Amino acid sequence: MECRWTIGVILLVWIACGHACTYPNRCVANNGKCIKPAVVCIDQLRYSCGPTEVCCERGGAQMEDLPLDPMDYAQNGEFPWTIALFSRGSFFGGGSLIASGVVLTAAHLLLSKTSDEIVVRAGEWDMASVDEPQRHQERRVVRVARHEDFQYKTGANDIALLYLDSPFELKDDIQSICLPLQGASIDQTHCLVSGWGKRFFNDSQVSSIQKKVELPIVNRGDCQNMLRKTRLGARFQLASSLMCAGGEKDKDVCNGDGGSALVCSPDVIFARFQQVGIVAWGVGCGRPNVPSTYTNVSMFREWIDRNLKSNSVELLRNCIPIHPRI
């Protein structure tokens, strides 16, 4: 009897919540264009969706109202190391969680900011929503460590660490990203960035929903030659600490993505990632044959480790290769 009662409750919940849809949400075709289905139960029932429809939340999550293809948005919790940075309540850039109490980001974002005004948010996905499946966590910054040789004009050594007032509670949607060893080469041809930056350079605001973009890694020599054909001019010299990715039309990072992680997967089978770059700067956004630049993380692993040690933070885990069991 108890078993039948349990099954009955499950069926009742499915019937009550499965097809109910309330205003301002609405029923749309279940064709993958809604990335945030609404969960509404029977006490809120207004009308029901058909068998081939889904109740889709409004307010930035309904794909036909958004500027990007559904494949250009991250799923909730897909990149659990992705950090959103806020100053006095306003979003200003990205970062990555490299330890439960430490965030890696770009130094250029922090020039006019003090530690006491920065709030770090993990587990965020849709910044326009207050009702997400997993609630985000926020921490305040107690110390900012910018690289001592950072040069704003060239973007050289554009790296910084944010030390938090307390560690994040790690769970499925909040995890740290591993970093490469000092001097490690990048063997992958395509990598990913996730963040909330603008879609196009002239957009009036950043994206409310976390985006993702896959980018080709560009050889440094080729990148410098491409950038010399822009307003930077024929004498432009790419700083030795920078690497490049992108250069494809309408596929790029943009304003608001600064500080976010460029990550690569060293093995497809296990879908693991390591952070190889930090979004630094670019000439416009999404221009063909104009890659964007990234701080090469492998050049700064020893700097990161020294900084963590001086702040009594446990050293980071390495990206250890995983071999399939036979």
Domain range list for the chain: 2-66, 82-177+302-310, 190-297
> Domain 190-297 class?
mainly beta
Fold matches, 82-177+302-310 and 190-297: yes
Q: What is the pTM of this model?
A: 0.79
The verdict on domain 82-177+302-310 having CATH code 2.40.10.10 is yes
Q: Which residues contact 293 (CB under 8 A, 6 or more apart)?
A: 155, 223, 238, 242, 243, 244, 280, 281, 282
In order along its 326 residues, the chain shows pLDDT tens digits of: 434 333 333 333 333 344 455 544 556 667 666 766 766 543 333 345 666 767 776 543 444 455 555 558 888 888 999 999 999 999 999 999 999 999 999 999 999 899 999 999 999 998 888 777 778 999 999 999 999 999 999 999 999 999 999 999 999 899 999 999 999 998 888 899 999 999 888 888 899 899 999 999 999 999 999 999 999 999 999 999 999 999 999 999 999 999 999 999 866 555 578 999 999 999 999 999 999 999 999 999 999 999 999 998 987 766 655 444 44
Exposure class string for 189-219: b at 16+ Cβ within 10 A, else e: eebbbbbbbbbeeeeeebbbbbbbbebebbe
pLDDT of residue 62: 45
